[in-house]
Amino acid sequence: MVLACKTETETKVEKNKELAAKQTNENLKVMTYNIRLDVAVDGENAWPNRKNFLNSQVLFHAPDILGVQEARPNQMADLKSALKGYKSSGTGRDGENKGEFSALFYNTSKLKVEQENTFWLSETPTEISKGWDAAYPRICSYALFTVLNTNKKMWVVNTHLDHVGKEAQLNGMDLIQSKIAEINTNNYPVIIMGDFNVEPDSQLITNLTKTMNDSKAIASIKFGPNGTFNGFKYNEPVSRRIDYIMLSKNIIDVKKYGVLSSTIDFKFPSDHFPVLVELKLN
């Protein structure tokens, strides 16, 4: 009987495969997605006509953390039903399960929530309220996550800044940063994502990038169009970039950044493209 022995090359290949698998398992995929609220006036682009496309898109890309904006209670119910293996965190902007959510969905096989909360972007953040010159009440939902296989922790913040009030945008983001500074006493990595309703040359992004990195700027691989707001206009260039995933300075290993411009039969699943980032916590 002859026993086959592995060559040095075969052993090295196996070790490299094991290392690659371990590194892949340590990577986290984070997505922000303004899913467009459910309104009948959207006609052929109304939620019932696109929800299956959007749900399957999310499931295909399988983010570990998904931040959604403009999700009404019925849309939250649809997402919860479709996204098996995920749980959600967040409160509607009109309180409890009312109004639009800026919710976080997370892969329960990879992550668990240690703390969670929602506050209002206003002068009275603990109350249902509209702040400064905002057109609508705006909220921020956040959670402290533990990555199960590494025990590393991170804060993830999801928001939808006002589309009209410039003061509300700036003050809202300042409030978010102040809140995170208050609770992040252990200096864990922080991800702030969402629909900021401003473009990269705005004062808000200029201020924010003094303390955080734009994930696109530091990603090793970039994919997709620059713009993220398509307005359901299939035949027009998408140039407005208003959806972001921002990272604290202690997250520097960003593998990929992508804006996902998928279509089916000349239709988009939302009036925004989702932004997907793959990163590794240091």
**pLDDT-wise least confident of 8-17, 45-54, 212-221:** 8-17
**% pLDDT > 70, the chain:** 91
Burial (0-12, 13-18, 19+ Cβ within 10 Å), 37: middle
Residue where the block lists tokens 């980032």: 277
Q: Does the predicted model carry a pTM greater than 0.75?
A: yes
28-280: which CATH architecture? 4-Layer Sandwich (3.60)
Pick the more confident residue, 24 or 168: 168
User: Does 21 score more than 90 pLDDT?
Assistant: no
Q: What is the 3-state secondary structure of 231-243? A: CCCCCCCCCCCCE
How far is residue 282's CA from residue 279's CA, in Å, rounded to a whole number?
9
Give the pLDDT band (50/70/90) at residue 14: low
User: Does 26 score more than 90 pLDDT?
Assistant: no
User: Does 16 score more than 60 pLDDT?
Assistant: no
H helices within 30-72, ranges in order? 47-61
User: Does 193 score more than 90 pLDDT?
Assistant: yes
